Structure 1
Amino acid sequence: MFVIKLILAVLVLCGVAIYVINLNLVAKPTSVAGIESDHYQDDKYHNAAARIPMSFSETAALWLRFFTEKKINTTPNIAIPVQSISRADLNALSNDTLHIVKLGHSSILLKVYGEYWLIDPVFSDRASPFNFAGPKRFHQPPITLEDLPPIDKVLISHNHYDHLDKASVKILLSKTKQFFVPTGVDGDLISWGVAADKITTFDWWQEQETTQALVAFVPTQHFSGRGMSDGNSTLWGSWVIKAPQYSVYFSGDSGYFSGFKDIGDKYGPFDLTMIETGAYDNDWADIHMTPEDSVQAHIDLKGKTMMPIHNGTFDLAFHTWYDPFDRVVAESERRDVVLSTPEFGQIFSITDPAITRHWWKTE
Structure 2
Amino acid sequence: MYDNLLERADEYRERIDTLRRCMAEQSVDAFLISDQDNFEYFSGYKSLFWASKARPFFLVVPKDSDAVVVAAAAEARTFYQNSELPPGLAYQQYSGFIEGAVDKVIEVLGQADRRTIALDYGFESFGVGSFSLIDKLKTQFPAAQLVEGADSIWPIRMIKTPVEIAQKRRALEIAHDSFHHCLKNLALGTTEKQFAKALTLDLIERGAESVPWLPVRFGRKDFAYSLPPTDRALAKNDFIWVDVGCRLFGSISDVNRIAKSGRVTNEEQSIYTQVRNMTIATLSTIKPGMTGADVYGTFEVYAQETELGLPSATASRIGHGSGRNLTEPPSIAATSKEILQEGMIIHIEPKYELEIGVFQLEEVAVVTKDGAELITKLSEEKFPEALG
Whether the TM-score (by the shorter chain) exceeds 0.5 is no
Q: TM-score, normalised by structure 1?
A: 0.22
Higher percent of residues as helix: 2
Find the structure with the greater CA-based Rg: 2
> What is the TM-score normalised by the length of structure 2?
0.21
